[in-house]
Amino acid sequence: MPVGIFATILILCLPTITSRVELDEFEQQNRNLFKHIWHTFSLASLNLPMILQLDPAILVETPLGTGFAIMVIDYGMHQNTCWIVALQENGIIKHFDCNDIILSTNYTYGLNLTRNTNHPVKGKKD
């Protein structure tokens, strides 16, 4: 919502107030109205996807091979997370569903040391 529209609504809601006491009383009486206006027109109510740039990139395994995850897009609770991966073999950037991504083995940090043969990506023959 543009700031101008929000300011117009706010000005129309405010009566002529001459003192701080009157402003506090008005604020108490209309607190729910302001909360409703703010919640209705805030960015959180727009359900925009959240994009996270991974820095540093994370080494992952995908159905197309090993690559570096460079971004994650979260579309909300009703959709799976989308991972944007730069493939190591040819540098192509691809989008993968979160179910298709596995963290590569990292011996330094002790991550993913056991091979998961039940996962579709790991189940393939190396």
Could you tell me which of 56, 72, 101, 66 has the C-alpha nearest to residue 87? Answer: 66
Q: Domain map of the chain by residue range?
A: 3-46, 49-126
Cα separation, 106 vs 109, in Å, equals 6
With beta carbons less than 8 A apart as the criterion, state whether 62 and 87 touch.
Answer: yes
DSSP-based three-state secondary structure for 108: coil
Take residue 21 and report the two structure tokens written for it.
């006491």
pTM of the complete model: 0.57
Helix (H) or strand (E) holding 20: helix 20-29
Cα separation, 98 vs 93, in Å, equals 15
Please list the rounded mean pLDDT of every run of 10 residues in the chain (126 residues): 51 58 70 66 65 92 95 88 95 95 84 68 54
Cα separation, 81 vs 50, in Å, equals 10
